[in-house]
Each structure stands twice: as C-alpha cells, then as structure tokens.
C-alpha cells in the first residue's frame, strides 16, 4: 500500500473517531421500585423527537439491568422502558454534542396483573388479555398464605367456582355424584390427571408445595382437550427449576373448636390437624438441568366422627436443555392415604356423627404418575411438543368386608401420549395442531375388568386483523370400551378478542364440550349409603355448548374490572336415578340450560400495601326436561378478599357468600336414607389471617396465625354433610 493511501486511511479513522466522540451517549440501569433489584430483559426504546424514519434504536437490559446506546446524534429523544408485570416508563430528554446521559429508572409493579401469561386456553403461551374466554389464575402465594391443605380448597376462592363437597362446579356445570365422574378436566402441566376408573379428580394427590400457579378456564374446552372439559379446564403448572440451591420447610398445626351445640359433641378430646413439608431445588450438573423434590406428611383427626386421614405426598421434577433448541421436563409423584369414611350424618341432632352401621369404615388409596414433556424449536416458525404420562391408581376399602378383610377394590392403569405442533405462519397467524392417544386398563370387583382406548385429532388457527384477534378450531374424538361402546364426537369452537387500547378489550366465544361416561358410571355394581347401584352399558356422552360475551377494562390506575355474560346448554346429562325396583343407575336424563353473568374486580393501593378482590356470579340453572332448578347448584356466589402488607406485617381476610341450593336428591330424604336432609342454609364464611415475614430484615422465617370460619357458621355443601367448623392453625415457613 502506498504511503499516501496509508495517510488517507489514518485521516479517515481520526475523522470518524472525532465524529463519534462529538455524538452523545445514553446509558442507564433499570430497577424495581419495590426492592431496587435490577431488572434483566426489559425492553428499552429510544425514539428521536420529532419521530422520523430511521430514528428508533432498541435494546434490552442485561443481567445487571444496564443498557447503553452510543453514538447518538444530538437532539431531543423519548426513552421508553417496558417489562412484563411493570408499568411502562417514559421520559423525554435532549442530547448535546459529546454529552453522556446516565439514567436510573425504577419501574413500578402493576397493581393487577393485566399482562399475565397463560398457556391452557390455547395450548401455547399468550397474554391473558388476548384470550377469548374467561380465565382465572391462582398464584403460589395465594395457596401459601391461606395454608391450603388440598387443591380443591384453593378453588373455593375463584370467581364463579363453587366446591360441592370435593367436586368442582364452574358456573353451575356440575352438581354432585359421590366419587364418580368430573365435568371439569384436571391437568398437570397440560397432561390429564383424572382417575382411570371413576374419572374423578383426586385433589389431595396434587403436590401443593411445587405449584407455580393454577389456571382455570371457564366454559367448554373440548375443542382442544376432549372429554371431561364439559364445564371447564383446570391446569396445575408446577414450578420451574432454579439455578441455585434452595430449601423450604413448612410446619403447621391446628385444632377444631368444639361445636356450639352440646348434642353435636361426639368427642371430649380436642381434634387436631398438622403437617410438615420440605421442598428442595438445586442444579444437578447435567447441562443446565435442575432438580426439584418435595416430601410432605399431613394428618387430620377430623371434626366429624370417622372422617380422618393420614396422607403422604412425594414429588420430583427435573428440566433443562438437551441441545440448543430442545428442552425436556420430567416429573412424577406418589401419593398414599388412609382415611375414614363419612357419607351422611345420623340426623340433625347428631350432625357430626354418621349412622352407627358405617362406623369403622375406611379407605386406603395409592396413586402414582410419571410424565414427560419434550419440546423442540425446529426453526423460528415451528415448535414441536410431545407429552406422555403413566397414571396408576389403586384403592380398597372394608365396606361390606369379606373374610379377607377387604371389601371393594380397584386398580387402573392409564397411559397418555400427545404430539403437538405450533406453527407461526406469519406475524399475524398461528396454527396449533396435534394428535392424542389414551389407553385405560381397569381391574375391579366393582366395575369388572375393562379396557378403553381413545384417539383424537385437533386443529386451531389464530389470526390477528389489526386490533381484532380471531380463533377457530375443532377436535375429533373416537372412544371405544371393550369392543362394545363406541363414541364419535366433533367439538368445534370460535372466539374473538378486540383490543380497545389502554389494556381494555372485548371478547366473545362459542364452543362445544363433551364428557364420555366413566367406566364407573357405566359398569358400577355395588351398594353404598343404603342404595344399590346397577350398571347401564347404554350410557351416551354428555354434550354442551358454551357461549360468552365479556369485557376487561381498567378503572383509573388502581383497579381492573372483568365482566361477562354466559349461557351453557347441556344435552344427555348423566345423573343417578332410581329405577322402579328402588335401585340406582346412571342415566342420560337431562336437557339443561344455565344462564348467568359474572363481575370480577381487582384493586391495589400502593405498591403492595392493600390488595382487594371481589366477585359476584349469578346463574339460573334450569332443567329443561323437568322445569326444575338443577340439583346442588347455588344461584349466587359473592367472594371478597383483602390483603394488607406493611413492612414485615401481613394480614388478610376472605369472605364467601353462597346461596342455598334449591334442589337436591329428594328421594334419598323421602326414603329415610338421609334423615333431615332437607336442612340447608346459605353459607356465610369468613377466614382471617395475620402474621409476620422476617425475610426483609435478614431472617428467612415467616409465621402466620389463621382462623377459618371465624364466626362459626354452620352450613352444608351437600345434604347430610356438615361443612368445616371453626378451626385455628399456626404456620411456620423457613428458607435455607
């Protein structure tokens, strides 16, 4: 190279360096206004003022929350910082020649999570505001502060959800059938978790200490999930692994107060309940895999005679990356319980005692499942997911025991496999498709030995047209039981969401659901509660059609309102009915319609000072066959919760009003099987909690005192079975 060219190159570099130095620089750090911790992954956008082509610069904050824009031309700029779960931050400033601006930006957490991400509604991650159906979320924090013992107790605080004994009822979709069937599909990480024999949800088998959140989708969901999603879907999402060692121990103990009425006091001894759980997470040295495991033991003497339990839960999970674009999550749990059996009270004067003939009855149950989820990001537009599980159920009792000491027993083995693809066709269109295969093997003296298998295909398309998002999809199910019963079912759905701006949106949806009869409903042959149950192999699936119109909008800066109007139609609903011979069999007897509306208000004052939540649900559940109100449906639900936090102090209150159900199994009362079974009242239940959390002052310990049913209100959720009476507990949680 000639000397003249070298000199020219040096001169060009010097001039360029001088030009860069003459320009400005904007840098800074983004932190949380709540605890001043750095926020990684926040979006930082720099826009030249006035806006012009090519004057937008973007980036994200690093692990330390910092950002840095160099070589900024002089002039006015608008700096916009945003992060999921925080309020957007906007500041305007100007850059002069050679000037460096350093900003410290503090983002305020949103008082209500309008931008929560959910996965259950469409089998993929999406913002809650973009979902065309009603969805509620239970957080791990909510479960912890209420000292929830079984997941169904956590559902009691969800708008539009009512628990009838241990069966979940979403907007009146379910009544009550003891231990048989569920019109709501229970999932764990998107994989079905209903017992293979009875088709019921076994709530106590869910490992509460490992829950990250619970998503509740209201209305028919069979277009993606198939059978049992007649009234809704409940998906339990377990915690993600952490990259540091962490151990949490929880210890609680409490007692039930003696009932107010002397004739109800069946024991002079205090009735206690207690439990302990330990959960541990750590990296295990295989790539970025981590391991989470928990063990818990719970014991309850029971406030009702012969209604006790001893329970063990074991859960383990490992997840991480197999390769650059591949992940694997494997989890499993084991559950064992020995419990007493209580069906109906003796009479109203002995409301906490069963009939003498059932004293000493017990049930032993063991359940285990192992599951895996494999995901592969094939390219920028295609995600493939494989889900599989094996679910084992075994239980036996001493009802009408034989010389061996065993009465009824059942063992079921349920295998599940699903392959799903998610394709991003363009920035506005997403396709979700998949295939499902399920095999159920049953051996029971109640239902005889049976085998059933089902196959399904589903497809869903989502398209954005400006502010309008449209969703359309369908699923086709084929189910066969022992080469005898065959069911074919097509379940379509359609939904739209219109973005009004400012976090407000309108939504509308229509979708179908169905529930194939469980093996227990079809083939049960037993005697319980003084009633003989006989098989009905001619049962047909239940069907439903759900319609909803809703709106979600903020009120000022501190509150969010969600309102909806809904109608659910049902065909061939399965109900236990008495035959002419006085026996009971499950039959397709009901054509029903449930209409109603729901209002849900969330509010927060201060960053974390006071959080309020209130909801009101009204339903009109009409049996179009008999023109009566459907059994065990309460027309009105009103829930209010308030949480107060100040420094290390915590306090909260929950109030639930549930109107008395108008219809019930009157034949059980008229035949004298349930004495005084017509006694029922509205429920007014208040729960109180207070405590301290010392983690902010250097001690990883929290202590809480809880009073459930604080005003000792007596009510029933089903006939002849008293709901929990007032009880007290102390909870200690520590991390190390």
Integer-rounded Cα radius of gyration of the chain: 29
Check residues 215 and 144 and name the one with the higher pLDDT: 215
Mean pLDDT of the chain: 86
The pLDDT assigned to 6 comes to 46
d(CA 341, CA 297): 20
d(CA 387, CA 702): 37
d(CA 721, CA 180): 18
The pLDDT assigned to 403 comes to 56
The pLDDT assigned to 85 comes to 65
Q: Please give the C-alpha separations between residue 166 and each of 152, 187, 202, 595, in angstroms, as whole numbers.
A: 7, 17, 9, 24
pLDDT digits (tens, 9 = 90+) for 533-580: 788 888 889 999 999 999 998 887 678 899 999 999 999 988 877 777
Is the pLDDT at 356 greater than 50? The verdict is yes
Yes or no: domain 21-107 corresponds to CATH 2.60.40.10: yes
Is the pLDDT at 21 greater than 50? The verdict is no
pTM to 2 decimal places: 0.84
d(CA 483, CA 369): 27
Check residues 696 and 655 and name the one with the higher pLDDT: 655
The pLDDT assigned to 19 comes to 42
d(CA 325, CA 278): 33
Quickly tell me which residue has 């970025």 as its tokens.
Answer: 288
The pLDDT assigned to 458 comes to 97
The pLDDT assigned to 242 comes to 65
Mean pLDDT (whole number) for 49-60: 65
The pLDDT assigned to 702 comes to 94
Burial class of residue 339 in the structure, from the number of CB atoms within 10 Å of its CB (0-12 exposed, 13-18 middle, 19+ buried): buried
pLDDT level of residue 20 (50, 70, 90 thresholds): very low
21-107 and 117-225, same CATH topology: no
User: What's the DSSP call for residue 107?
Assistant: E
Which range has highest mean pLDDT (496-505, 570-579, 681-690)? 681-690
User: What's the DSSP call for residue 669?
Assistant: H
**Long-range contacts: 397-402, Cβ < 8 Å, 24+?**
397/341, 397/361, 397/362, 397/363, 397/364, 398/360, 398/361, 398/362, 399/341, 399/361, 399/528, 400/527
Which range has highest mean pLDDT (60-74, 306-320, 514-528, 544-558)? 306-320
Yes or no: domain 232-735 corresponds to CATH 3.20.20.70: no
Mean pLDDT (whole number) for 405-417: 88
Collapsing DSSP to helix, strand or coil, 268 comes out as: coil
SS3 content of the chain, % helix, strand, coil (to 5): 10, 55, 35
Domain boundaries along the sequence of the chain: 21-107, 117-225, 232-735
pLDDT level of residue 614 (50, 70, 90 thresholds): very high
Q: What is the second-level CATH architecture of the domain 117-225?
A: Beta Complex (2.170)
pLDDT level of residue 16 (50, 70, 90 thresholds): very low
* Ramachandran class of 560: left when φ > 0, alpha when ψ lies in -120 to 50, beta otherwise: beta
Which range has highest mean pLDDT (67-71, 148-152, 369-373)? 369-373
Name 656's Cβ contacts closer than 8 Å, sequence gap at least 6. 156, 157, 637, 638, 639, 683, 684, 685, 686
d(CA 319, CA 371): 12
Is the pLDDT at 8 greater than 70? The verdict is no
pLDDT digits (tens, 9 = 90+) for 182-216: 889 999 999 999 888 888 888 888 888 889 899 99
Is the pLDDT at 22 greater than 50? The verdict is no
400: which 2 tokens?
């009408």
């Amino acid at each position: 190279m000639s000397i003249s060219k070298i000199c020219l190159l040096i001169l060009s570099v010097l001039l360029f360096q001088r030009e860069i130095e003459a320009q400005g620089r904007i840098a800074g750090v983004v932190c949380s206004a709540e605890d001043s911790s750095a926020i990684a992954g926040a979006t930082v956008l720099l826009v030249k003022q006035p806006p012009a082509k090519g004057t937008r610069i973007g980036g994200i904050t690093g692990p330390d929350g910092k950002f840095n824009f160099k070589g900024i031309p002089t002039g006015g700029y608008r700096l916009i910082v945003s992060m999921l779960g925080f309020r957007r931050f906007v500041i305007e400033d100007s850059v002069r020649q050679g000037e460096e601006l350093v900003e410290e930006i503090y983002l305020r957490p949103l008082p209500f999570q309008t931008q929560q991400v959910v996965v259950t509604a469409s089998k993929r991650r999406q913002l809650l505001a973009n979902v065309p159906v009603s969805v509620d979320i239970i957080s791990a924090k909510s479960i912890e502060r209420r000292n929830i013992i079984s997941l169904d107790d956590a559902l009691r605080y969800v708008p539009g959800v009512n628990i009838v004994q241990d069966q979940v009822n979403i907007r009146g979709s379910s009544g009550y059938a003891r231990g048989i069937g569920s019109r709501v599909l229970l999932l764990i990480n998107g994989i079905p978790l209903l017992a293979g024999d009875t088709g019921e949800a076994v709530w106590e088998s869910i490992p509460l200490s490992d829950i990250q959140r619970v998503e509740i989708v209201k209305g028919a969901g069979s277009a993606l999930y198939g059978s049992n999603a007649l009234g809704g879907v409940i998906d339990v999402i377990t915690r993600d692994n952490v990259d540091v060692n962490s151990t949490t121990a929880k210890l609680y103990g409490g007692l039930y107060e003696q009932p107010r009425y002397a004739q109800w006091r069946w024991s002079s001894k205090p009735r206690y309940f207690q439990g302990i759980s330990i959960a541990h997470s750590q990296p295990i040295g295989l790539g970025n895999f981590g391991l989470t495991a928990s063990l818990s033991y719970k014991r309850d003497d029971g406030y009702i005679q012969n209604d006790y339990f001893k329970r063990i839960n074991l859960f383990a999970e490992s997840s991480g990356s197999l390769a650059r674009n591949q992940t694997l999550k494997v989890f499993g749990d084991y559950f064992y319980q020995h419990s007493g059996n209580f069906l109906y009270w003796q009479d109203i004067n002995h409301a906490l005692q069963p009939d003498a003939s059932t004293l000493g009855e017990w049930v032993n149950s063991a359940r285990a499942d192992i599951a895996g989820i494999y995901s592969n990001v094939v390219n920028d537009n295609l995600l493939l997911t494989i889900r599989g599980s094996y679910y084992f159920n075994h239980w036996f009792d001493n009802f009408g025991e034989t010389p061996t000491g065993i009465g009824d027993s059942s063992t079921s083995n349920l295998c599940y496999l699903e392959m799903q693809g998610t394709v991003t066709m363009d920035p506005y269109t997403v396709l979700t498709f998949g295939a499902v295969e399920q095999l159920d093997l049953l051996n029971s003296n109640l239902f005889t030995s049976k085998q059933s298998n089902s196959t399904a295909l589903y497809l869903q398309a989502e398209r954005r047209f400006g502010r309008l998002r449209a969703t359309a999809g369908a699923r086709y199910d084929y189910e066969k039981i022992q080469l005898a019963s065959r069911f074919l079912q097509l379940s379509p759905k359609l939904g739209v969401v219109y973005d009004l701006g400012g976090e407000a949106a309108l939504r509308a949806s229509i979708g179908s659901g169905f529930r194939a009869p469980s093996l227990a409903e079809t083939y049960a042959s037993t005697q319980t509660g003084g009633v003989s149950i006989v098989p009905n192999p001619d049962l047909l699936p239940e069907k439903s059609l759900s319609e909803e119109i809703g709106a979600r909008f903020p009120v000022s800066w501190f509150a969010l309102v969600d309102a909806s109007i809904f109608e659910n139609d049902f065909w061939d609903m399965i109900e236990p009915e008495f035959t002419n011979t006085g026996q009971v069999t499950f039959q397709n007897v009901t054509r029903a319609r449930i209409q109603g509306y729901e209002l849900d208000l969330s509010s927060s004052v201060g960053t974390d000072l006071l959080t309020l939540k209130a909801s009101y649900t009204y339903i009109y559940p009409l049996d179009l066959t008999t023109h009566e109100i459907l059994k065990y449906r309460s027309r009105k639900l009103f829930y209010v919760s308030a949480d107060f936090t100040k420094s290390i102090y915590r306090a909260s209150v929950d109030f639930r009003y549930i109107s008395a159900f108008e219809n019930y199994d009157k034949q059980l009362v008229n035949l004298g099987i349930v004495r005084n079974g017509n006694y029922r009242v509205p429920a007014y239940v208040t729960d109180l909690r207070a405590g301290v959390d010392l983690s902010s002052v250097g001690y990883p310990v929290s202590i809480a005192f809880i009073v459930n049913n604080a005003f000792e209100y007596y009510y029933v959720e089903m006939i002849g079975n008293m709901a929990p009476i007032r009880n007290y507990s102390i909870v200690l949680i520590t991390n190390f």
